[in-house]
Amino acid sequence: MVYRFGPFVADCTAYAVRRDDRRLDLTPKLLDLLFYLLERPATLVTKEQLLEDVWPVANVTDNALAQAISDLREALGDSPSAPAYVRTVARRGYRFVADIHAVAWLSAGITETVASDLASIAEFCVTDRWRVVHAARRTRGSLRDLGEALGASLLVTGGYQRIGPQLRIRARLVDVALGEALADGILGDSCAAVTAVPDSAKGERLVAFYTRLDVSVESLWEQLCQTELPRLRLPRRDGLFAIEAIPTLGTGKVDVRGLRQLAVERVSTS
């Protein structure tokens, strides 16, 4: 996640804050504090929340918290009397008041969605994402160490990849004790692809593959004929083939050469 506010750019992945390409000299704890506030813009964050989430294993007093806020303000050039970034809410906590532009929000949004869906299942107790981030920094990302730090028996890992206008999301459920994947899932794989093969009469003919194995060729053909696509743009009835997965390269893109070869094989045997 990358946040822009005022003249600053805060990069969670790089674990750094810059102003005009100059890196601010912030301690790890001040970075944790700032990122925690940035993830909750315009929201009242209580002192208790900060002490519990940013200093989970340390005995930190209210005075130490106030000093950390003061140090953060000083680094940002902020004023407690006329705050542009961090405002004190008397006897309650703090609120980040600057306009924030999230440059890379997608991964956090996917994570929050997955966590929310898992939390709705009674059998699961889901750990707050901030606790996971904090534990990952302390354990350097080792799944076993991370699981022990969180007291978790299962971890969900994954990522996403943009392929043109498409988005592919991968997720894996890992048993921490065994170090084994219990389940894998991919969302966003291509469900159809079209290629062409040589044709003695017309020069070439279209061949379409699709992965909806529950849809018959006859049903798909009828649906295609009801669209507004010109018949010249449609594959023939005998040019439709159901397959389990569209061939892809290691980058996630469709393997065009492999798809064409598969089309040649299917047409020659049909």
Q: Which of residues 41, 70, 102 is at a domain's end?
A: 102
Ordered DSSP codes for 58-101? S---HHHHHHHHHHHHHHHT--SSS-SSEEEETTTEEEE-S--E
Domain span at residue 183? 106-187
Query: DSSP secondary-structure letter at 179?
Result: T
Please identify every stretch of the chain with a pLDDT value under 50, giving residue numbers as ranges: none
Q: Are residues 9 and 83 in the same domain?
A: yes
Half-sphere exposure of 189 (CA within 13 A, CB side): 15
Residues 176 and 200 in one domain: no
In this predicted structure, what is the pLDDT of residue 56? 81
Instruction: Give the C-alpha separation, 165 to 176, whole Å.
Output: 35
- State the Cα–Cα distance between residues 190 and 209, nearest whole angstrom: 10
Tell me if 177 sits within 8 A of 184, measured CB to CB. no
Beginning with the edge strand found earlier in the chain, give each strand of the sheet holding 240-242 in spatial order.
Answer: 192-199, 203-210, 240-242
The reply to whether 75 and 141 lie within a common domain is no
**Contact yes or no for 76/85 (Cβ under 8 A):** yes
**Alpha-carbon gap, residue 68 to 72, rounded angstroms:** 6
154 and 220 co-located in one domain:
no
| One domain for residues 84 and 158 | no
97: domain CATH number is 1.10.10.10
SS3 207: strand
Give Cα separations from 23 to 3, 34, 78, 139, 158 (angstroms). Answer: 14, 14, 17, 25, 30
Q: How many domains does the chain have?
A: 3
What distances in angstroms separate CA 169 from CA 49, 103, 107, 156, 166, one per listed residue?
31, 19, 10, 13, 10
- Same domain for 23 and 74, yes or no, is yes
* Rounded-to-integer distance, Cα 101 and Cα 34, Å: 15
Q: Give the pLDDT score at 46.
A: 95
Please give the backbone phi and psi of residue 59, each rounded to the nearest 5 degrees, phi first.
-90, 90
246 and 196: one domain? yes
Pick the closest to residue 254 from 201, 190, 196, 174 (CA basis): 190
Task: Using the 3D structure, point to which of 102, 130, 149 is the last residue of a domain.
Answer: 102
Neighbours of 41 (CB within 10 A): 15
| pLDDT score at 85 | 97
Q: At what angle do helices 62-76 and 28-38 cross, to 10 degrees?
A: 80
Distance CA 53, CA 36 (A): 9
pTM for this entry: 0.45
**Same-domain pairing of 110 and 182:** yes
